[in-house]
Amino acid sequence: MADRYLRFTGTAPGRFLTRRLGLPQPAALTRWSPERPALDGGLLHLTAGRSALDLAPVLARTGIAPAGSDRAAAVVLDASGVRDVEGLAEVHAALHPVVRSIATSGRVVVLGAPLDPADHHQAAAQQALEGFTRSLGKEIGRGRTVNLVRLGDAHAAESTLRFLLSPKSAYVSGQVIEVGSGDEPATPLDRNRPLAGRTALVTGAARGIGEAVAGTLARDGARVVVLDVPQAERDARRVADRLGGTALLLDITAADAGARIAEALPDGLDLLIHNAGITRDRRLVNMPAERWIPVLEVNLASVLRTTDALLKAGTLHRGGRIVATASIAGIAGNAGQTNYGASKAGIVGLVRSLAPRALAEHGVTVNAVAPGFIETKMTAAVPLFIREAGRRMNSLAQGGLPVDVAETTAWLAHPASGAVNGQVVRVCGQSLLGA
């Protein structure tokens, strides 16, 4: 469903009226397209504190030229060397003069360091960057995003910086992403098709967000297996045929689902994308077991069972990626969704627990995306006033699109994202609810 308010605020009368009434003034977001693969404008690189990061060669490979006299499209502030309160003054001094001049739909990426447990002054200063970043994201406006990346190795963060400094991250803001150490893929990557030669399984891929994820992974070169229930056979085959992939029809909640997936993929799997999910909303006082159990089965139990089975069977290749779908409902909660919120919070727990073991034992990373209000057929059916509240209650004052979740998934699935593990990244325009 079209966001008519967003269109209205893009007109001269709309800008005038919303400004006079103090209403949200969302800016139309710049998203990736073949015709517009990069941000319009240059990159401004700033530093606060004494940094040991070798950023110049990494930033040179992001595809954004250094900013000249024109308005910057992106600002990278290296604050990894800030170790005390005095250093935080340098953060202010660096960004204060330039924030107003950042282009519409521009990017601010603050680089921090891991918290030092042996130095509480450094830990306090680095944690302060989180509050600073989230607050700036809520006030910067005009479709601009602000994110914090904690890292120790600049080269391991290249795929993350390329994502955050591109139109692909249009609906990702207010996030804190931790990047560990990792090796680049042994084989040089095609920048346009980094997933070439890789096989991706996307559950619930016959429509909606799952279809967008499958399409984006195929765009990046992956051979996609479209998994959905037999009842969705027509749509699943339509998507698979369009993407040059294959359809796999089965009930993901079946006890033998993992075994059947492994049997269908004798050559193995590189990317396991858990997208299938359902809702059965009702307040707990009115929620019978038959509305609770299916949601937990589809959204959480099936993810646990199939992941365990595929890891045990060795179906997932080393260097593989698991990306599960959480939700801001699992982080902040939502009235009428105790079942859904529980299932999606369970995904967060799964990621945090499994990620270090899966990497150590199987060479596989485990991460999650947590969508907020995304424009789908499901949200289009929500009553008008609730739908408008969902759209406006984020820093970008608009709903996201399925492609926003898909682009974030593709970044986590990237062969060069091996240093990103155990992360839950919200795709919510920095929702005003939850952390």
Q: Which residues are catalytic?
A: 340
CB 154 within 8 A of CB 54: yes
| Residues forming a β-bridge with 74 | 43, 107
Look at phi and psi of residue 28 and say left if phi exceeds 0, alpha if psi is from -120 to 50, else beta: beta
d(CA 194, CA 143): 28
CB 282 within 8 A of CB 295: no
In angstroms and rounded to an integer, the radius of gyration of the C-alpha atoms of the chain is: 21
Q: Which residues of 389-426 are buried (b: 16+ CB within 10 A; e: fewer)?
A: ebbbbbbbbbbbbbbbbbbbbbbbbbbbbbbbbbbbbb
**Which H/E stretch holds residue 199?**
strand 199-203
Q: Is 45 exposed, middle or buried (0-12, 13-18, 19+ CB in 10 A)?
A: middle
d(CA 195, CA 377): 29
Look at phi and psi of residue 110 and say left if phi exceeds 0, alpha if psi is from -120 to 50, else beta: beta
